[in-house]
Chain A
Amino acid sequence: MVTSTTPKLDRRPSRSQDREPRRLGFGQRLGRWDVKLSPYLYISPFFILFAIVGMFPLLYTAWVSMHQWHLIGGQGEFVGMENFLHVLQQPPFWKALRNTFSIFLLSSVPQVLLAITIAAVLDANLRAKTFWRMGVLLPFVVAPVAVSLIFGKLFADQSGLINAVLGGIGIEPIRWHADVLASHVAISSMVNFRWIGYNTLIFLAAMQAVPRELYEAAILDGAGRLRQFFSVTVPMLRPTIIFVVVTSTIGGLQIFDEPRLFDQFGLGGGDRQWMTVTMYLYEIGWGSQKSFGRAAAVAWILFIIILVIGLINFSITRRIASDSAPKSRKKQKR
């Protein structure tokens, strides 16, 4: 993620590839096998494990999604794409998709902005650095289950702290559970509470890696603090930003714990105003219909949505990563 921040050392693999085989002349036959096989060996733990705990469930799910399949009753008739078509015709599915994106946007956008801002503040020659950094990360150690319990008390409609405080200064209480947007804000705030500090540290690590020469050059050009931030820091952070966006997209679109625990029923509200796609999946699989087949179809639809968005982000990451490297080199020369 700090690819572009190390212009001097950054070599595209293709360039070094020309060189490596030449050096290999020094090695023996054994070494050649070592070179050939080692990369695969090193990545194999991930793939072996994924095959068992990831691939099998995925294929199993695909198989299930094309059958009538009751959670307990098990496999029924082969129905092809019928489960997918059924799900896509259900209004609750679209509502869940809307909620998911809404909660995702309300959490990821402020999250990234705040994390960058706080990281920029932390990226100073502070006294008691450790204290501030660890302090920011503190909420991350609280389990989502506990966060939901705590925030449940804060966001309770009548007996909650926030509405009590609002009432104290003469503001109408907010209907945190009844109102669509308010419920999304409340749920997002739980997500943000846990993840802002985490992302701040990721950004901070990347900021620390920005070569100080770039700032010096900017200062020589007469750039102020704010200008430095926008014309040096932010461009240098782009790959990191996209890294954070990719990972939080994937996590955010699967959001489950926080909205499920937002009330005691776990269904997403009377009008399903905060039901997310994974909650919908859970409801038709485990709850009302126990249709494992349809739940599997929802999982695959969600998987494809995330994949498409993730791959778009990922390709942007790679493009920007390679774009910004020469750019920064140019700047440095200046």
Chain B
Amino acid sequence: MWAAAAGVTGIALLATACGSSDSGSGEPAADGDEQITLTIGTFNEFGYEELIPEYESLNPNIKIEHKKAATADEARANINTRLAAGSGLSDIEAVEVDWLPELLQYPDKFTDLTSDEVEGRWLDWKSAQATDPEGRLLGYGTDIGPEAIAYRADLLEAAGLPSDRESVAALFGGDDATWDKFFEVGKQYTAATGKPFYDSAGAIYQGMINQVEAAYEDPDTLEITAADSAEVKDIFTTVLNASTQDKLSAGFAQWSDDWQSAFQNDGFAVMLAPGWMLGVIEGNAEGVTGWDIADVFPGGGGNWGGAFLTVPTQTEHPEEAKALAAWLTAPEQQIKAFKSKGTFPSQVEALSSQDLLGQTNAFFNNAPTGEILANRAAAVTVTPFKGPNYFAVNDAMGSALTRVDVEKTDDIDTSWTKFVEAVKALG
């Protein structure tokens, strides 16, 4: 691939470069006659494998080195270490929404990406997540994770429940779907089959907490409020009661080996599924038939995950890096990324593109995934506030849920007490 890319660059170089000199900096850097290598650090799947050579052939003076980390955690460790050491970051670093707030605490480490060209490109709540209190835009949105409900039609049918897309959406309450309704359906399913309904309490909790405006921290003072929040405790208790007392949860930690295996063994019937989860289900459930996806989500819309491209101030080529990040996050490119890896675009224009809306997914019974996810994105009304301690509190919460749902070493009360202690230790 590098050889090919180099070849393309070489040929393009010969055929006179088309310079796009930005912002009239006067520096020859952007004039296209100087060779520049940009590095971009991503993780998991961004769907950029084919876009990068395309950009290189459009911009013959730019060579791009793509550094991919295996997991978001590794990418985070890498970025933090290099930020601490003060050097070594890529010209563009991808950042996941959950730990973006930690980095936004240090806005001077990142280039302000505000520009007229990208004004209004993203859904409002998406660009709000990457905007610091002084109004600077520090990250360009890539994808979002609008959530729908993925389900096993065959298992629902066996439990005597409706199984086609529309009826399932209606079963959960359609546009007025609520979590109570969701759990109620779960109880019906479990009563009929004796089997767990969904995969993990942690996943359901994520769905619910991402609909709370300010779950863990006070948006004004940034004080951690999670331990005293009645709302958080209520969600925690509700999810765990449904999961353990009503036995709706299969009790897996998501991403564990057991969880992966359960896809092959009819371990559960329903999952909350943001766009990027579809590829996960398809891979894990290879050879399993019956998966489908319903255009519904309890409690209004919900978003799970999504990422941004940032340009650290360590870079020597801020203008070029900014231009590349802007190009990669433009609607056309993000639609291509969606088609290749299922990362759902966060750009307003992309959401109404026929190209996107026409997407179907054969594995999910030919569901119109483009349309469903676009509807789900439109249904998102709440932008949860995630401050600098969000990631840490959420980790502590994850452990608290694991203790009850997966490891079964604690009951709801003792686990909550431990959570409160862990959160106190953060301060």
Q: A–B direct touch, CB within 8 Å, in complex? A: yes
Task: Name A's B-contacting residues (CB within 8 A).
Answer: 71-74, 90-92, 152-153, 156-160, 175, 177-178, 263-267, 269-273, 286-290, 292
List chain B residues, Cβ under 8 A from A286. 76-77, 80-81
| Neighbouring A residues of B105 by C-beta, 8 Å | 72-73
Q: Which of B84, B262, B418, B425 has the largest number of chain A CB atoms within 10 A?
A: B84
Q: Closest CB-CB distance, B324 to chain A, in whole Å?
A: 24
Question: Whose C-beta in chain B lies nearest to the C-beta of A159?
Answer: B261
A238 to B391, CA, bound (A): 50
Given A159-B262, A270-B400, 10 other A-B residues pairs in contact with their CB atoms under 8 A: A91-B421, A158-B262, A159-B261, A178-B407, A267-B399, A270-B403, A270-B407, A271-B418, A287-B392, A288-B395
Q: Which residues does chain A contribute within 8 Å of B396, judged by CB atoms?
A: 288
Do residues B258 and A157 form an inter-chain contact, with CB atoms below 8 A?
yes
Contact A271 B407 (CB under 8 A): yes
| Chain A residues with CB under 8 A of B426 | 288-289
Q: Which of A72, A177, A289 contacts B407 (CB 8 A)?
A: A177
Taking a contact as CB atoms under 8 Å apart, the answer to whether B257 and A153 are in contact is: yes
Roughly how many angstroms separate A286 CA and B103 CA in the complex, as a whole number? 12
* Alpha-carbon separation in the docked complex, A271 to B106 (Å): 32
Question: Who on chain A is nearest to B425 by CB?
Answer: A90
User: Which B residue's beta carbon lies closest to that of A74?
Assistant: B84
* CA of A157 to CA of B256, assembled, Å: 10
Minimum Cβ distance to chain B for residue A105 (Å): 22
Q: Count contacts on B: residues with CB < 8 A to the other chain.
A: 41
In whole angstroms, what is the CA distance A326 to B72 when docked?
60
A267 to B396: give the CA distance in the assembly, Å. 10
In the bound complex, residues from chain A placing their C-beta under 8 Å from that of B425 are: 90, 92
| Contact (Cβ within 8 A) A72 B398 | no
**What residues of B have a CB within 8 angstroms of the CB of A175 in the complex?**
407
**Cα separation A264 to B105 with both chains bound (whole Å):** 27
Given contacts A270-B402, A288-B392, A288-B395, contact A71 B83 (CB under 8 A): yes
Bound complex: CA of A160 vs CA of B262, how far in Å?
12
List, sorted by A's number, 13 A–B pairs whose CB atoms are closer than 8 Å.
A71-B80, A72-B80, A72-B83, A72-B103, A156-B257, A175-B407, A177-B407, A178-B407, A263-B253, A265-B399, A270-B401, A271-B410, A290-B102
- Does B409 make an interface contact (CB < 8 A)? yes
B408 within 8 A of A: yes
Whether the pair B399, A158 counts as a contact (CB closer than 8 A) is no
Q: What is the chain A residue whose CB lies nearest that of B102?
A: A290
Q: A72-B105, A72-B109, A177-B407 are in contact. Are A267 and B395 (CB under 8 A)?
A: yes
Determine if B409 and A271 form an interchain contact, defined as CB atoms under 8 angstroms apart. Answer: yes
A271 close to B257 (CB less than 8 A): no
Tell whether, in the assembled complex, residue A156 and residue B84 are in contact, meaning their CB atoms are under 8 Å apart: no
Per-residue CB contact flags for chain B residues 406-426 toward chain A (1 = under 8 Å, else 0) read 111110000000100110011
Q: How far is the CB of A48 from chain B (nearest CB, A)?
A: 22
A155 vs chain B, min Cβ distance (A): 9
Can you name the residue of chain A whose Cβ is closest to the Cβ of B260?
A159
Beta-carbon contacts of B356-399 to A below 8 Å, as 1s and 0s?
Answer: 00000000000000000000000000000000000110011011
B392 touches A156 (CB 8 A): no
Residue numbers in B under 8 Å from A73 (CB-CB): 105-106
Residues in chain A near residue B400, CB distance under 8 A: 270
Does B73 touch A at the CB level, under 8 Å? yes
Closest residue to B81 on the A side, CB-wise? A286
Given A71-B80, A72-B84, A292-B84, residue A152 in contact with residue B257 (CB < 8 A):
yes
Q: How far is the CB of B145 from chain A (nearest CB, A)?
A: 18
CB distance from A258 to the nearest CB of B (A): 16
A127 to chain B, nearest CB (A): 41
User: B2 in the interface, Cβ–Cβ < 8 Å?
Assistant: no
Q: How far is the CA of A91 from the CA of B418 in the complex (A)?
A: 11
The minimal Cβ–Cβ distance linking B129 to chain A, given in whole angstroms, is 19
Lowest 9 A-B CB distances belong to which pairs?
Answer: A270-B402, A288-B392, A159-B261, A178-B407, A270-B403, A156-B257, A264-B255, A158-B258, A270-B399
Which of B258, B265, B409 meets A156, CB within 8 Å?
Answer: B258
The one of A71, A287, A292 that contacts B395, using a Cβ cutoff of 8 Å: A287
State the CA gap A178–B262 with chains docked (Å). Answer: 19
The answer to whether B257 touches A266, judged by C-beta atoms less than 8 angstroms apart, is: no
User: In whole angstroms, what is the CA distance A57 to B422 when docked?
Assistant: 30
Q: With both chains docked as a complex, state the minimum distance between the C-beta of A97 and any C-beta of chain B, in angstroms.
A: 16
Q: Which residues of A contact B103 (CB under 8 A)?
A: 72
Q: Digit string of B247-274 for contact with A (CB within 8 Å is 1, else 0)?
A: 0000001011110111001000000000
Bound Cα distance A242, B388 (Å):
48
A266 to B395, CA, bound (A): 11
CB-based contact B409/A178 at 8 Å = yes
List the B side residues contacting A71 at CB < 8 Å: 80, 83-84
Q: A177 to chain B: which residues have CB within 8 Å?
A: 406-407
Interchain CA distance A152-B418 in the complex, whole Å: 27
Q: How far is the CB of A94 from chain B (nearest CB, A)?
A: 13
In the complex, what distance in Å separates the CA atom of A181 from the CA atom of B130? 44
Contacts of A159 on B, CB cut-off 8 Å?
A: 257-258, 260-262, 265
The answer for the CA separation of A92 and B395 in the assembled complex, in Å, is 15
Chain A proximity of B396: nearest CB distance (Å): 7
A269 to chain B, nearest CB (A): 7
Smallest CB–CB gap between A179 and chain B, Å? 8
Cα separation A287 to B426 with both chains bound (whole Å): 11
Determine if B261 and A156 form an interchain contact, defined as CB atoms under 8 angstroms apart: yes
Q: B84 CB to closest chain A CB, in angstroms?
A: 5
A160 nearest CB neighbor, chain B only: B257
- Measured CB to CB, the closest approach of chain B to A76, in angstroms, equals 13
- Cβ distance B69 to chain A, nearest Cβ, rounded Å: 14
- List of B residues within 8 angstroms of A289 by Cβ: 392, 426
A156, B256: Cβ atoms under 8 Å? yes
> A270 CA to B120 CA in the complex, in Å?
42
Residues of B within 8 A of A157 (CB): 258
B408 partner residues in chain A, CB cutoff 8 A: 178
Give the residue name and chain of the B residue nearest to A268 (CB): B399
* Cα distance, A290 to B402, chains bound together (Å): 23
Closest chain B residue to A282, Cβ basis: B77
Instruction: Select which of B256, B261, B391, B410 is within 8 A of A263 by beta carbon.
Output: B256
**Chain A residue with minimal CB distance to B71?**
A264
- Contact yes or no, B406 A158, CB < 8 A: no
Task: Return the contact of A264 from the options B81, B256, B391, B401 (Cβ within 8 A).
Answer: B256
Question: Across the two chains, which residue of chain A brings its CB closest to B267?
Answer: A158
Interface flags for B68-94 (1: CB within 8 Å of A; 0: not) read 000001001100110110000000000
